[in-house]
Amino acid sequence: MSGETLPVEFACVFDGKGGARTLSAAELAAWQPDDGILWVDINLTLDRSRDWLVEEGGADIAALDILLAGETRPRFLSTDNGLVLVIRAVNLHPGADPEDMVAVRMWVSKDRIITSRRRRVLSVDDIGRALLKGEGPRSSGGFVVEAIETTTDRIGTVVDDIGDEMDDLDSRTGSDDVILLRQDLADLRRQVASVRRFLAPQRDALDRVYRLPGGFLSNEDALQLREEADRLTRYVEDLDLAREHALVIQEEMLNRVAQEQNQRIYLLSVVAAIFLPLTFVTGLLGMNVAGLPGTASPYGFTVSVVVMIFLGIGLIMLFKMKKWI
């Protein structure tokens, strides 16, 4: 992308045909609105990127606070010369959690676009590569639409994956270990909550953007943004459905645990009911008093054992007749 001398990540000028030309530090300093739409992508962790944004960025004062802010929720602000839009993109880098959503801030005017971020965002990189291939946006409004579209596409992938994982958990509730299922379900519910936390305000921000009267957004741009807002609404609804699905799965797991506990308690109760009369007999015959039957007979113990065996068998048959076992 841009040279190492630039205090920014990427700088280019649109050619109005879907392509762009990257700028050196000198060309960026000499840029004029007549040269074409300027896009500067700023990585706030780079040296002097903040200074360039404040001194040479040209953004409104109200926009600077948002462009320089730390982690922030999706929002929209209309300024005198353009608009400020903060969106959240899923983190799909290897080893990263998708729910660890990355903030992308953009200030967009008719002839200038400034984006700022602290971490790499694949959606922004996609636009840069598309411009260098001649397949990128042709206007400021088109840039906003494409940034939202590429971001929403990746969000949709994550939401679909969440739905698939939830279905997989549902199919495992009857066989897998409950402790493992509970941990997997907790992780998935945490992911749903993290993603939904940013999607709802992002949908509201897009809704306000496409309703913005006048400005540099064409009617086609406004319609596409409306479609993206509707798509985000569907994803929010899918996450709500996944959350309800998680509650159903949790209830099924609790019912399964309760059923297993009841079965164990029932088995212990049956065993106790069988051995209670036998314990009574052994306790009665074990009394250390005179007059107990069979104490003087060599067959006393054998007779006692036979009686208890028949008593146990009789109790088991009685329980089966009652359909208790």
Whole-number pLDDT of residue 86: 87
Find the mean pLDDT for residues 163-176: 84
Provide the pLDDT for residue 53.
80
What whole-number distance in Å separates Cα of residue 42 and Cα of residue 106?
10
pLDDT at 298: 80
Contacts of residue 224, defined as CB under 8 A and 6 or more positions apart, other chains included, come to: 145, 149
User: pLDDT band for position 38 (50/70/90)?
Assistant: very high
Mean pLDDT value across residues 47-57: 79
Go through the domains of the chain in sequence order and give each one's CATH number: 10-255 (3.30.460.20), 264-321 (1.20.58)
Q: Is this structure's pTM higher than 0.85?
A: no
pLDDT given for residue 12 in this prediction: 92
Mean pLDDT of the chain: 83
Q: Whole-angstrom Cα distance, residue 152 to residue 227?
A: 11
* Cα separation, 102 vs 291, whole angstroms: 89
Cα(45)–Cα(152) distance, integer angstroms: 25
Predicted local distance difference test score (pLDDT) of residue 19: 93
